[in-house]
Structure 1
Amino acid sequence: MYRRAAAAVAVVLVGLVVGCARQAEPQPVPSRVPGPAEAYLEAALGVTSDDAAAGALHMEEAVAACMAEQGFEYVPDTSGYHYVDAAAIDPPPGSREFAELYGYGFAALPEEMRAESTPGVNPNDAILGAMSPEELEAYQQALWGDAVGADPDAGGEVDLAGCFGAAREQVWGDREEDPVRLALEEEITRVDAEAAPTDAAVSAAAGRWSACMSDAGHPGYGTSPDAEEAAWDRWTAFNDAIAADPALGQEGPDGLILGQAGLADDEAALATADWDCRAETRYDDVWQEARDRLQQEYVDAHRAELDAWVETFS
């Protein structure tokens, strides 16, 4: 089933590097059992917290080496990277208890999943502060390439280039240009978005789920992903409003932004009803059966290619 949080790994790595710092949107860690095609992604690309921490350090060191080659000083700094280990989260994402407390994990998150950087001294701040505007522009261009000054809200993807992009490719591989991975991910998306939802058994289960949700006081949702998408849209609209008018971002006595607690309560009520109705109607079981069958068809047709691909990562 489609989940906004679905990913191939259970470790979240958020990099906040000088010149391009950004707070990541909160994303729940996936809890569902991977399908046959997703299992290949996990086998090839899955990392542990230790892997991610080591990779972050190697990437920072590669950035520093690249910048030195271009005549710039860059001090490796991993303090802005945040790691989330799904096994350490209690209650676990995907459980009813998590839904009751945190909904889908948008307006509220447990402490372990918050990708918040602790204010501190970045060793590169002094380097940047001593530069003229012209030197700073050249430095940022070397560090980020064409990503400098790009507006992620203007549409399209912002591809990292410069030394940071080169370091990421050096440490993690050029996966974006991997045709086997791209084809595999496209098939997983196709199954989730097109093939599985139109399966007869899934359609019948969705009808039962929708009726259950109406009885629980949440009418108007055709499928479980619709409910989660609605919660995400409300969270996004909340943040967009604050971005347009920073005065709306005032904190209340509870430490939350005014209005966030109410939004989180509504999300938790919706997510809990969603969980109960999925359990009552066996929605997840039916979806998984259809998804596994459809993904297995792809795996069977490309098994040799997929096995060879996974082997390159071992």
Structure 2
Amino acid sequence: MRSTGPLAVLAASALALTLAGCSGDGGGELTYEDSPLNKYLSAAYGGDLSPEEQQKKFDEQQRQQEELMAECMAEQGFEYKPNVNNGGMVFSEEDGTWEPDKKEWVEKYGYGIVNNPFMSEETQQSGEEYVDPNQEYLDSLSESERNAFYETAYGVPPTEEEMGEDGGYEYNWEDAGCQGWAQHELQGDDPWQSDEFADLRDKMYALWETSQSSPEFKKLNADWSKCMAEAGEPGFDLQTDAQQSISDAQNEIYESAYGDGTTEVDPETVVDPSDSPEMKELGEKEIALALVDLGCRQKTNYTEESLKIQFAIEEEFVRDNKAELEAFKAAAEQNN
């Protein structure tokens, strides 16, 4: 099931995900939670709550949203069973399943792309494959009716032109079907998308896009790149390029099976590429590359140094935009 959510959560958590993705040596004292911007952005996604409180809040919002969505779909003439087990977020600080700084973890999962530890645990815990409660109804519809169902539920997907070359498409709940309406009913207007914070939004995106081009980051990435080349993995200029190469290769495997979206493919005629020899080979390549990457991150103290650089950039940004950040934080807290 396709799911489209507001950019607020994505924007607010982008920094945290970026910094967490930089982790490598496991010995540094800094974490993304030390980010000068985190205390402002965390207000948009409940970062001040414990994992248990976040999970409880998310589960309740998910339940209410799915019930509203069912009402909306019924008004449009479609059946829809609330789906509260559709791969939503899981908040936990105890499972320890995402440990890309540890060699034992990397030896098993690499970057966690082909062999995702969360998917593995979910399968083991449930003991069965995920079943969409609406699948039987969807199977009873014709192709045109199914298309109408999805468009009513989630809106019409943006075209390549609307997405833009930089992926700068901006979410609008009014274009996101019943799901967008249900989210808006529960959450109200998203302060991140409001005109009041348009200038802050633009400056924040610019900060995320340009921070990696700072002289300090260039030097750190150059040291890492040199290490990678000496270890037999040349061609990566940025630390994130190595992981991205695996993600791109995985996308190519899926596209060869399902197409690139320009032509319709009957999924029942496609053999799941997840279990293909090509995917297995990519998984082995991922682990080998990730192990070299881990070694070079440890050698260059990449995590600690990258966080120091990032936080220095953020501190300057906070000084220059403190009033706007305080206003956004207040609006986000009120919206929650």
TM-score, normalized by the shorter chain, greater than 0.5: yes
- 2:26 corresponds in structure 1 to none
User: Is residue 275 of structure 2 the alignment partner of residue 256 of structure 1?
Assistant: yes
- 2:114 corresponds in structure 1 to 107
1:88-237 map, 5 Å: 88-97=94-103, 98-112=105-119, 118-120=129-131, 122=133, 125-126=136-137, 129=140, 142-145=152-155, 147=156, 150=157, 156=163, 157=169, 160-175=175-190, 177-179=193-195, 186-199=202-215, 201-237=216-252
- 2:42 corresponds in structure 1 to 42
Question: Which TM-score applies when normalising by structure 1?
Answer: 0.72
Mapped to 1, the partners of 2:97 and 2:107 lie a distance apart of: 10
Identity of aligned residues (%): 25
CA deviation profile, 1:232-267 (whole Å, cap 9, x unmatched): 21121122122249888467xxx8322222211111
Query: What is the deviation of 1:109?
Result: 0.8
Aligned partner of 1:80 among 79, 86, 102: 86
- 2:6 corresponds in structure 1 to none
| Residues 128 and 272 (structure 1), Cα distance of their counterparts in 2 relative to 1, 3 Å cut | closer
| Residues 295 and 243 (structure 1), Cα distance of their counterparts in 2 relative to 1, 3 Å cut | same
Aligned partner of 1:306 among 325, 328, 334: 325
In structure 2, give the amino acid aligned to 1:40: Y
Query: What is the deviation of 1:208?
Result: 1.6
Mapped to 2, the partners of 1:275 and 1:181 lie a distance apart of: 38
In structure 2, give the amino acid aligned to 1:162: G
Query: What is the deviation of 1:37?
Result: 2.1
- 2:32 corresponds in structure 1 to 33
Mapped to 2, the partners of 1:204 and 1:227 lie a distance apart of: 17
Query: What is the deviation of 1:163?
Result: 2.3
Query: What is the deviation of 1:152?
Result: 6.5
Query: What is the deviation of 1:310?
Result: 2.0
| Residues 243 and 132 (structure 1), Cα distance of their counterparts in 2 relative to 1, 3 Å cut | closer
Q: Alignment partner of 2:248: what SS?
A: helix
| Residues 92 and 185 (structure 1), Cα distance of their counterparts in 2 relative to 1, 3 Å cut | farther
| Residues 257 and 7 (structure 1), Cα distance of their counterparts in 2 relative to 1, 3 Å cut | farther
| Residues 59 and 178 (structure 1), Cα distance of their counterparts in 2 relative to 1, 3 Å cut | same
Question: Which TM-score applies when normalising by structure 2?
Answer: 0.68
Aligned residues: 284
| Residues 214 and 171 (structure 1), Cα distance of their counterparts in 2 relative to 1, 3 Å cut | same
Is the 8 Å Cα contact of residues 60 and 77 (structure 1) preserved in structure 2? yes
Q: Alignment partner of 1:203: what SS?
A: helix
Query: What is the deviation of 1:298?
Result: 1.8
Q: Alignment partner of 1:94: what SS?
A: coil
CA deviation profile, 1:155-199 (whole Å, cap 9, x unmatched): 625864332211111223433623566655654543343233332
Mapped to 2, the partners of 1:234 and 1:135 lie a distance apart of: 34
Q: Alignment partner of 1:87: what SS?
A: coil
Mapped to 1, the partners of 2:306 and 2:160 lie a distance apart of: 33
- Greater shift, 163-172 or 67-76, is seen at 67-76
Mapped to 2, the partners of 1:241 and 1:139 lie a distance apart of: 26
Aligned partner of 1:286 among 305, 318, 322: 305
- 2:7 corresponds in structure 1 to none
Mapped to 2, the partners of 1:102 and 1:85 lie a distance apart of: 20
Query: What is the deviation of 1:303?
Result: 2.0
- Greater shift, 155-164 or 120-129, is seen at 120-129
Is the 8 Å Cα contact of residues 70 and 80 (structure 2) preserved in structure 1? yes
Q: Alignment partner of 1:292: what SS?
A: helix
Q: Structure 1: any 5+ residue segments left out of the alignment?
A: 1-5, 11-28
- Greater shift, 59-68 or 241-250, is seen at 241-250
